Each structure stands twice: as structure tokens, then as C-alpha cells.
A and B are shown apart, each in its own frame.
Chain A
Amino acid sequence: MPLISVHDLHFSYPSAREPALRGLSFSVEAGEYLAVVGANGSGKSTLARCLNGLLPAPAGAVSVSGFDPSVRAERDELRKRLSLVFQSPPDQIVSSVVEEDVAFGPENLGLALPEMKRRVEGALKFAGLWQERKRSPRFLSAGQQQRLAVAGALAMEPACIVFDEATSMIDPAGRASILELLDELVHGGCAVIHITHDMAEAARAGRILALSEGRIAYDGESQGFFARDDLAELGLERPQAMRIASALGLKPIPAESARALSARIAGVSATCPELRAAAVAMDSPAAAVPVAALDAELAFSAENLVFRYLEGSGDESLALGGLSLALPVGKSLALVGATGSGKSTLLQLFAALANPSSGSVRVLGIDPSASGTDLRALRMSSPLSVQRPESAIFELYAGDEVAFGPRNQGLKGAALVERVLDAMDAVGLPYGAFRDRASRALSGGQKRRLALASVLSMRPQALVMDEPGSALDPGSRAGLMDTLFAAAKGRAAFVYSTHSMEEAARADYLAVLSSGRLAAFGPPSELFGKGFCADWGIARPFAAELAAELRALGMDIPIDVLHEDQLVFSLQGLRAGADPAVGLAKPSEPGAAADKGRGTAP
């Protein structure tokens, strides 16, 4: 008997027009590793909640170890066997002490103290948090908090753990530690269902279940799934490793590491002697510009910037510890670094929403803390789009929400309409179709776009955005970044933070933050190339990582390769004996290779 069996599962939310799930049937064996993928709104989270009875599935549709979540008496037995780990780490922590939080589940089961102690110790040691057991969860990093949630689930000694986008809100280092934990769980015989937007993560599972509009679009081995031509229609994409492999005519392998792929590429190249012969000495086209030497006008500058939260109280904490950088007018800047490294704080200072504790910051050439500064006007010319900006939406209708900013600028009538129309059209929510739509009824991706339109409608001089693409599916995410880069053209600056190195690589400059200090600043090609340092706590974009591995194997890959199309082009160029410099001097849009890759069957 399978561990989980789902038979013709339908589900509709009471107020929704369309059903969320329309007849799902599948089963999961004990110890299986399954990834569930699909665009925003395809029904993934609804499925997870139906599996353990948080949402009422129809009787007989779901069975876990023979228990039916629709039967009240069986629900607790089912939940003991199937645990859930959610997206947002702080929203699943109940207690104010780490070990007490892990004990929450066992307490609910009414277990005896010795048994609870055994389980808590086992779970905390497994999650690598035994040392932290007496601390308050709020002092843990996001990755540690999520590992705490895993420990809490594990203390129930379940047969299966469902991870509902559990890696989407944490930094790359925390994410890697969670993924390792998943592998160990599977290794230990626990079944894992991993709901994710990240295709490289999904490819780690042996089996993929793809949802589209509440139906199963695919259920089977990952190899077969990523060979499909219609991934873009599902709002998904192939992992980069597979795209690069197929562009080079190699067999794409799911979840292949940069090192493994580089060995295969080098293996093919070894039989192809002209590859090595075609060594071309290449200089980095965008050589690092020393910050001090920039005498162009500056959009943003920070000098010895220090910022402390809760200054003067017992809980004072240092967010920025003496940071200096300068961004010339007309450039984009990506901020990367671990959670708590100071990215959001710096963005707030750039948006004139906070005062430095010491040091100085200049926003569009103006010192926000100087007396006489029109702070309101400055904030509106360099407005911050906060993390999850859709949570600040308050107007009933989409058009009014977008009009809020321009109205505060004093606009009325035709001028106001023009602003709203332009902004809504720019983010792909056409004014005509969307102005009278209820803001709350929009989908997650549409709400994000609406929130961004309500910043663009002020015609700001600079765009300052905190993780603009987070928690969106790959299709919406890439589209959103394209929109933002298009909107940033002609403005003084575009500054954004991100945990995605591929997104970071699109900026003109990259600032690596570490514990409130600037670890590195320069063009991405430089920092992800020869200037890369493993101590920064960030990864390289996959293409840059692969390029580095290939160079380590003695191949002549230019040092500034960042995007997969550059890499593929240079490898093809090497193979053809042509001069790859032609292609590299003008990198095409990063999306181009993705389209090439998608069309190619293995």
C-alpha cells in the first residue's frame, strides 16, 4: 500500500470563481522524494493543505497510511505521520525558546517527558541546532529558523514531510543547508514532498509532479519532465545545467552540478584538439572601476555609513558598520549578501526613510538629514519598494492604488490619469482592463506588479527595490525583472537587492554585503569572475561557476562569463575555432539562451 494516495481530489475555496484543484490522482510510496512544481496559483499549496486536513478535502479523496483527513477522529493520527514545513520561517515558530518550540508537537501528543526529551534532542541534533537550544528563535538566521521548523516537524517522527516553498524566503547559504537536510531525511527513509519554484531544486527529486490550473500536467521522472517543450506555458523553465548541456549537444541531466557538467564538457573537448589550440587572450571588457576614481555625477553615495537599530536601548543592534560606496548616475546596482547583512537597511537609507547613526548618505545628490531638505519630495523621487510590496496595498480598486502616489504629488485630472495609465501599462496590467479590478482579488504575481506600478506612477528619478522578484514563479520572475530594467532606462539609478545571483548578474554594479560591511563592489563580471571570494557567503551564477570549473580543467573560457548564452557562445566559438570575443563584447539578453534551450530536445 502506498504511504499517500490521492484519488480524484477536487477543492474550491468558498469565495473563488474557479476551483483550485480539479481531480488530482497520484500516490507516494514510503521514503520517496517528490518535487511539486507549477506557476503561482496552480494549486500547490492548496494540495499540501488538503493532504494533512488544514483544508477540508472531500471524504475518501486523500489517504495517508490509511487515515483520511476528512474524518475528524483520524486527523491527528494523520498529522503525526505527515508534517508540514511552511514558507515563512518566523510564522511557524510558537515558542520563545528553541528547544521548547521543538517540543510543541510532542506536548500536543501528550508524550511523557523522557520521550519528549529524546525526540527534541534527536531532532535538534539532526537539524544542527543543538548548540542553540536555549536561545530565542528570533536571534537565529532565517536559514536556522527554517531548520528549527524542520526539527519541529521531525520531533513528530513523521513518515513524510511536506515542504511548502520552504526555501523561497531564505538566503543561498541557508537554502543550501535546508536542501542538505532534505537529502538526509530521504536517506533516513522519510518521504519528502518538496513544493518549489526553483527548477534546480526540483531536479534534485527523482520524481516530479507538475500542476497547472489545478490539474496534473506531469507526473513522472524528472528527466522526462525537463525534456518537455511546454515548460514555458506552465510558467516553468529547465534548470540552467540542462539548458547549457543541450545547447552544447550534450545529454541534459537533471540536478547536475557545475563540476560534473564541466567534466563532461571537458571530456568532449578532449577529443577535439582545436579547442585547446584556439586560446584567445581576453581582457575583461568591463574592467573594475575604483570607486574613488569615479568623477561622474553620483546617484547615491554613502560615506562611512553606520546604522544601529533600537539605538540607545538595551536591544541595540548594528545593521551597517561603516559602509562607503558610490553609484554613478544612470547605472544599476544589485545588493547581495546573507540575511541580516544590511541590504534592506541600506535600501532604506537610499530612500531617505532612515537617518544614519553616523556617517553620511546622499540621495540624488541631496543629504536627507540636512535641515531644509524636502524629505517628502525626496522620498518620492527615490521611493523604496519594500519586500513583498503588495502587503501595503490598501485601495479597493487597482487604479486608485496606482494613483495614490501621484495624488500625493498634487496631480489631478488628465495628468493623473496619464501617470496611472503609463505605469499600469508598463508593468503589464493594462489600464483599460485593470483599473476597476478589485486589488485584493488579483493573483499574487499581479498584486506584485500593481505594487510596483504604484511606485512607477510617481515618475521617480531612481528605483530602489527590496527583493522585487521574491516568491514568484520562474516565468513571472524573469518577466518582472525585464519590466523593471526596461522601466529603469533613462532614470538616475536602479538599486535592488536579491538572493538570486542570476538576477544580480544583470546589474552594472554589484555590492556584496557581509555583516553590515561592504565586502566587495564592482561590475558583476569582475566579482563573479577573477575577483570572486568564497568567504562572501554567496554563490556564483551557475554559468560563472561552470566557467570557473572549465577554466580549472584547463579550458580557455573568458574570465568574465556571467550568462549561460555567453558561456555557450564561447564554447561553441572555441569548438568552431572562431573568435569568441565578437559575441562576448556584446552580451545578448540573458533570456535568449533560455529560449534556445527550451526548444532543444535532449
Chain B
Amino acid sequence: MKNLEFFRRVSIGRYIDRDSPVHRLSPLGKYLWLLALIVPASLVRSALMLAIIAASALALALLARIKPGYLLKGFLPVLPLLGIAMAFQLIFTASGDQSPVLVTLGPITVTLREVGSIAALALRFLAMMLSLGLFTSVITEGDTARGIEDLLAPLSYVGFPAHALALAVAVAFRFIPIVAGELESVVKAQAARGSDFGAGKGGPIRKARAYLPLIVPVTIRALERAEMLAEAMEARCYRPKGRSRYVVHASGTLDTVARLGAIAYCAVLLIAAGRVAW
């Protein structure tokens, strides 16, 4: 029997409380470093540069006193996808691939360029997962929202609702366990009455029908609970403008240096990437 548990897959916002220079950064500083790692990692093609980014993320993780193994564990479910992508790289040869053939296995030939691509793919994946995992481990839920507000603060001068967006993020965080809990309760109620979700025989229509007893009540309950939360916020005089902040991050020298460092790091990588061929 599979346990009907839905919290297990919820792994967003796993803050690990440590006292480290990385933890002490302001939310804005953490966001800037996340972007400084993620943006080059998605743009750069060179395996060497991707290795440097992955190593930087690893170094930051060590500085934050968080085990890299823990960061990667949460992304194990994505590995099969990565494997498929690698297999495709191997099977299909890019047109105009003039690089030397290393191994030939029947119809499949492995060229140097293919090996380079696969290495880049794996390194890109590693760099991104390490950066994202590290980010969610060193930032609290509250700071995740506040950081967005700070990051987008310049845009609010031209009328962009930075605070509203930050609040939406905060509320979304709050709602993940709430909706998961409602789903779990409804699934159990329907399972007690003989529903078997997806496990039953029959075509796609019958399978889809089995989900109907979930979708209707879970949607209604999620909306009801959203309304309750909205009422509670309204009763406490919520307004998007003219609010003050209870949590203030002192923006010390370290933080300023870290912010500038993030921007410089990102710029250097992007510029260097244009000059490195492999």
C-alpha cells in the first residue's frame, strides 16, 4: 500500500538555520548571487565555464556550511530526465559534426563534440541545482518575499506592483501546505468510499473521471481558505501601500561588497564566455 501522503514532495523553502556569512547576507544580496550563478549557467556553452560556476556554487555552499550532498538529494527525481537528454545527445549526431570519433558502437558513434555536449549538460544541471538548492537553504520564506520586493523596488517607481508580487509569493508559500493538506484529506475521504485514483482499469476518460471527485472539492476548499486568509488580512488593515517593515536588514559593508561582487562575477563570466571556445 502506498501511503496517501502529499507533503513529502513539497520541498520548497527548506531553510537550514546556520550562522554563516552567506546566511547573514540581506535577501537582496542572496537574490543577486542566485542570479549571478543562474544567468551565466543558462547562457554559457563552454563546459569549462560551467565547471567554474558549479565550483563557485560549491564554494558558497561550503562557506554557508551546508553539505552539497544534501543540496543535490532533493533533485534526484529529475535525474531520469537528465539521463534521457544525455541519451539523445549520443544517439543523434549534430549535422556538420567534424570532431574526431572516439568510440563506435554499432550504429552509434561517439564524437569528441558529443562528449563535450554531454559534459556541458551535466555540469549545467549540476551548477543550476546547486545554486537553487543553496539559495532555498539559506533564505527564509519571509526573506524570499522581501527579497523580491527589494529586487524589483527600482521598477516600482514606474508603477510596477513590487510589493503585491512579493505578497503573492509569500501567500503562495503559505498555501502549498494548506492545499496539500486539503488534497490529502479529500483523497482519504474519497478513498474510503472506494475511489482508486489512476490505479483502476479503463481508458483515459474513466481515469479522468476518477479525479473529478478530487478537483471539485479541493478547488472549492482552496478558494474558501484563500478567502479566510484574505478576511484575516483585511481585518488587520492590510493595504499594499504605506506599510512599514518590521524586519530590517542592516546593509553593512559586507553586504554592499557581496552585492557588487555578484554583479562583477556575473559580468566577468559572461564576457569570458564569449572568448572561450570549449
Nearest-neighbour CB distance to chain A for B2, whole angstroms, equals 8
Contact B5 A310 (CB under 8 A): yes
Nearest-neighbour CB distance to chain B for A299, whole angstroms, equals 17
Determine if A111 is an interface residue (Cβ-Cβ < 8 Å). yes
A451 to B177, CA, bound (A): 24
Chain B residues with Cβ below 8 Å from A386 are 185, 188-189, 192
Determine if A511 is an interface residue (Cβ-Cβ < 8 Å). no
Determine if A523 is an interface residue (Cβ-Cβ < 8 Å). no
Determine if A221 is an interface residue (Cβ-Cβ < 8 Å). no
Determine if B221 is an interface residue (Cβ-Cβ < 8 Å). yes
Report the tally of A-B residue pairs with Cβ distances under 8 A. 173
Q: A80 with B237: in contact, given A309-B5, A310-B5, A351-B192 (CB under 8 Å)? A: yes
Chain B residues with Cβ below 8 Å from A83 are 235-236
Nearest-neighbour CB distance to chain B for A357, whole angstroms, equals 9
Q: A392 with B174: in contact, given A88-B228, A116-B246 (CB under 8 Å)? A: no
Contact A86 B231 (CB under 8 A): yes
A91 to B225, CA, bound (A): 7
Contact A108 B236 (CB under 8 A): yes
Contact B7 A152 (CB under 8 A): no
Contact B236 A95 (CB under 8 A): no
Contact B237 A310 (CB under 8 A): no
Q: From A48, which residue of chain B is reached at the shortest CB distance?
A: B235
Interface size bracket, A side: 35 or more
Q: A110 with B1: in contact, given A97-B140, A404-B193, A458-B193 (CB under 8 Å)? A: no
* Contact pick for B235, options A52, A100, A392, A394, CB 8 Å: A52
Chain A residues with Cβ below 8 Å from B171 are 94
* Contact pick for A107, options B141, B189, B245, CB 8 Å: B245
Contact A405 B246 (CB under 8 A): no
Chain A residues with Cβ below 8 Å from B188 are 348, 351, 353, 384, 386
Within B231-257, the residues touching A (CB, 8 Å) are 231-239, 242-248
A152 to B221, CA, bound (A): 25
Query: Which of B7, B234, B236, B244 counts the most A-chain CB atoms under 10 A from its CB?
Result: B236
Chain A residues with Cβ below 8 Å from B2 are 355
Nearest-neighbour CB distance to chain B for A292, whole angstroms, equals 28
Determine if B142 is an interface residue (Cβ-Cβ < 8 Å). yes
Query: Which of B220, B232, B247 counts the most A-chain CB atoms under 10 A from its CB?
Result: B232
Name the segment of B84-92, B110-118, B210-218 touching the other chain. B210-218
Determine if A14 is an interface residue (Cβ-Cβ < 8 Å). no
A83 to B233, CA, bound (A): 11
Q: A94 with B174: in contact, given A108-B238, A120-B246, A383-B192 (CB under 8 Å)? A: yes
Within A363-412, the residues touching B (CB, 8 Å) are 368-369, 375-376, 379-380, 383-389, 391-394, 404-405, 408-409
Contact B229 A92 (CB under 8 A): yes
Query: Which of B1, B13, B213 counts the most A-chain CB atoms under 10 A from its CB?
Result: B1
Within B140-163, the residues touching A (CB, 8 Å) are 140-142
A109 to B246, CA, bound (A): 12
Nearest-neighbour CB distance to chain A for B260, whole angstroms, equals 27
Chain A residues with Cβ below 8 Å from B234 are 54
Chain A residues with Cβ below 8 Å from B1 are 352, 354-355, 368-369, 375
Q: From B239, which residue of chain A is reached at the shortest CB distance?
A: A108
* Contact pick for B229, options A80, A91, A385, CB 8 Å: A91
Within A88-142, the residues touching B (CB, 8 Å) are 88, 90-97, 99-100, 103-113, 116-117, 120, 138
Determine if B8 is an interface residue (Cβ-Cβ < 8 Å). yes
Chain B residues with Cβ below 8 Å from A314 are 14
A110 to B243, CA, bound (A): 4
* Contact pick for A54, options B8, B140, B231, CB 8 Å: B231
Contact A391 B237 (CB under 8 A): no
Contact A109 B237 (CB under 8 A): yes
Chain B residues with Cβ below 8 Å from A404 are 193-194, 213
A52 to B72, CA, bound (A): 49
Determine if B178 is an interface residue (Cβ-Cβ < 8 Å). yes
Determine if B109 is an interface residue (Cβ-Cβ < 8 Å). no
Contact B213 A394 (CB under 8 A): yes
Contact B5 A391 (CB under 8 A): no
Contact A384 B189 (CB under 8 A): yes
Q: From B167, which residue of chain A is reached at the shortest CB distance?
A: A94
Nearest-neighbour CB distance to chain A for B111, whole angstroms, equals 41
Contact B237 A108 (CB under 8 A): yes
Contact B229 A94 (CB under 8 A): yes
Determine if A191 is an interface residue (Cβ-Cβ < 8 Å). no
Q: A379 with B237: in contact, given A100-B142, A138-B177 (CB under 8 Å)? A: no
Nearest-neighbour CB distance to chain A for B140, whole angstroms, equals 7
Contact B238 A405 (CB under 8 A): no
A80 to B236, CA, bound (A): 8
A96 to B17, CA, bound (A): 14
Q: A76 with B237: in contact, given A386-B189, A391-B182, A391-B185 (CB under 8 Å)? A: yes
A355 to B3, CA, bound (A): 6
Chain B residues with Cβ below 8 Å from A405 are 193-194
Q: From B73, which residue of chain A is reached at the shortest CB distance?
A: A314
Determine if B196 is an interface residue (Cβ-Cβ < 8 Å). yes
Chain A residues with Cβ below 8 Å from B182 are 391
Q: From B1, which residue of chain A is reached at the shortest CB distance?
A: A355
Chain B residues with Cβ below 8 Å from A15 are none
Contact A310 B7 (CB under 8 A): yes
Nearest-neighbour CB distance to chain A for B64, whole angstroms, equals 16
User: Taking beta carbons and an 8 Å cutoff, which residues of A are in contact with B?
Assistant: 49, 52, 54, 76, 79-80, 83-84, 86, 88, 90-97, 99-100, 103-113, 116-117, 120, 138, 149, 152-153, 156, 309-310, 313-315, 348, 351-355, 368-369, 375-376, 379-380, 383-389, 391-394, 404-405, 408-409, 451, 454-455, 458
Enumerate 17 A-B pairs (CB-CB under 8 Å) in ascending A order.
A49-B231, A54-B234, A76-B239, A79-B236, A86-B231, A91-B225, A94-B232, A94-B236, A95-B142, A96-B140, A99-B246, A110-B244, A113-B244, A116-B246, A348-B188, A389-B189, A455-B193
Given A109-B244, A353-B191, A383-B192, 8 other A-B residues pairs in contact with their CB atoms under 8 A: A96-B13, A96-B142, A106-B246, A156-B236, A348-B188, A369-B1, A408-B195, A458-B193
User: Taking beta carbons and an 8 Å cutoff, which residues of B are in contact with A?
Assistant: 1-5, 7-8, 13-14, 140-142, 170-171, 173-174, 177-178, 182, 185-186, 188-196, 212-214, 216-217, 220-221, 225, 228-229, 231-239, 242-248
A-B interface, 5 closest residue pairs, ranked by CB to CB distance from nearest: A408-B194, A103-B246, A392-B189, A92-B232, A96-B141
